[in-house]
Structure 1
Amino acid sequence: MINRNPLICLALLSLFAVTGGCVTGGREDLIRSGHADLSTGNYQLADKKGRKILRNWENNHQAMLLRAKSAYGQGDISKAVKILTQMDHLCRKDLCQNETAHIKAMILLANLTNDENLIKESQDNIDELKRNLSLQQYSTLIDYYIEQGRPNDAAATFDNLMTSCDGEMTNEQKMKGFVLYYSVFELEKAKGLYSELTPKQKVRLRKQFGEISF
């Protein structure tokens, strides 16, 4: 039998912690002041700030959107459409750097081109973004409960995560869910996830806890 000491289980969960990157303050300041320029009609200065960001970060979505809004504000719709189309074309959709900015850009592009299909696609993207944000929030809350030594709350939140993603979880999420459920003696749920783990993951668990049985 595995040792279901919550402290040991929580130590294992620390292996799955994920950290995210952040935007530098200088870039944020340029984006913020650029939008202030748009609100006061200083479109050329806003465009200049967008181009400055793009010199160091190609296809930065916020900067591209800033430039597109600047062009639109100056009445150059074709330029705005070109910028937004280029942004969408260059973006790696599976690793989008800023989904929120991308969706805003596509909504603007749809409005500028009166493209019904693009409008519908934008709505689908908004729905997907909401789903992704919910999953991120649940993951953050789970990690918080783990750090606080509250495995029962973490396991309950994992229930919500499973519901939100309709069971389509990554292998690491399944691993985390298994350890959580097993640590709080929810064995039926743990058993279901254990059956979906990869052979390598099961080996990792056995090395950490010994033989696992239900």
Structure 2
Amino acid sequence: MLNPPPRLRQSSPNIFFMMNEHFMNSRKAIVFDLDGTLVDTLPDLMGSLNKALAECGLPGVEATVLLDSLHGGLGATAGAALRALTADMTLHPELSKRYEQLYTDQLCESSLPFSGVVDFLEMLKRAGVSMGVCTNKLEQQAKQLLTHLDLIQYFDAVVGADTYPYSKPHPLPLLKLLEQLGAEPSASAFVGDSVVDAHTALNAQVPLLYYTQGYGGSCKTEWKAIEFDCYSSLLSHPAQT
């Protein structure tokens, strides 16, 4: 079994790489989650969800409802909203469909990369590290968003919830993506922000970098992770090939 790197509760530009420089420099590929990891998509997701709820004759929900279910995909979020409102669950198919339509139309309105993301991707690109995105967004939605934000240029492959028969936390999407990148799990890393991402890394036996300022809060899982709270902490010592 792969021995994952140790967990750090806090990160700083110096401490992170003093303890983990060898780990980072030995990565041949790095795969990222999208929502809450690379890009702050919450405003567009919330706007679309509450519009869809209104069209179904229901009140809006608070952001906590979305955050607790976001990484399961739009369908999971629609279900969570109905449960939070104690609404008729038979509305789920209609709500999910309309939510997806509305979100596809406005997914690029307010979403922006988190601070430091572009600099980190540039560093990895210069170092020759292969990169991919593994998300529970639909593949086309993910590519549309990445293209709009001019991030698609950094990634060799993008895998969404509908790319393969299984989505995260099943290991298949991540492992298939690493195959495309030509990298072994033990020589790679997965960057995520949720329990779903942590379980994906565990199931695929891929070391985890956990972004604590995303949507998932602290990482509570048996799979140890290097936790970081800002992308600038990953820039202190550029990875070398």
Asked if these proteins are the same fold (TM beyond 0.5), I'd say no
Higher relative CO (Cα under 8 Å, sequence separation at least 6) belongs to 2
TM-score, L = length of structure 1: 0.25
1 or 2, which has the higher strand percentage? 2
TM-score, L = length of structure 2: 0.23
Structure with greater Cα Rg: 1
1 or 2, which has the higher helix percentage? 1
